Structure 1
Amino acid sequence: MSESEALGTIYTFAMWVGVFILLPFAWKFFYALGFYIAGRFKKEQIFIIRHFHEGRLVSEKTINLSLKSPIIKQLENAGGEFK
């Protein structure tokens, strides 16, 4: 094996080690990016709250959440309907 072949083998090995080290980070990044892109296209989410007591459904409330205002503020406004 010549010197250039040895350097090529070392370079290839180092590249694959780097790919395997970065793979979990890339996976999480693209997973989060997918959620971000999906959120851009779906502007309104439907949030269903179900109240169970002793295994039976007591009540159910559906809230439409939009991305135009903070979710916490929308849930606080919808919370007044439960009282």
Structure 2
Amino acid sequence: MADSNYIKIFTGSVIDVQRIIADLEKIDISPVVKDENESGLDPKIYGGHLLKEIYVHKDELEKAQDIIKNINPE
């Protein structure tokens, strides 16, 4: 998604991504989700780690970052 109006805000497990998506949708943000399979193999068969990336429109970035901070208060 280089040179687009979308910015990656999170990469993580399916469980974390589902939670973030639900929280984003509560505040009327429709994220774009991209699957990233680390090993290039089917994780169900070969035990690879399936990661997902969440992107939001750059105009919604500030609101979305508040959601991420509440999930990962680092």
Alignment TM-score, normalising by the size of structure 2: 0.24
Alignment TM-score, normalising by the size of structure 1: 0.23
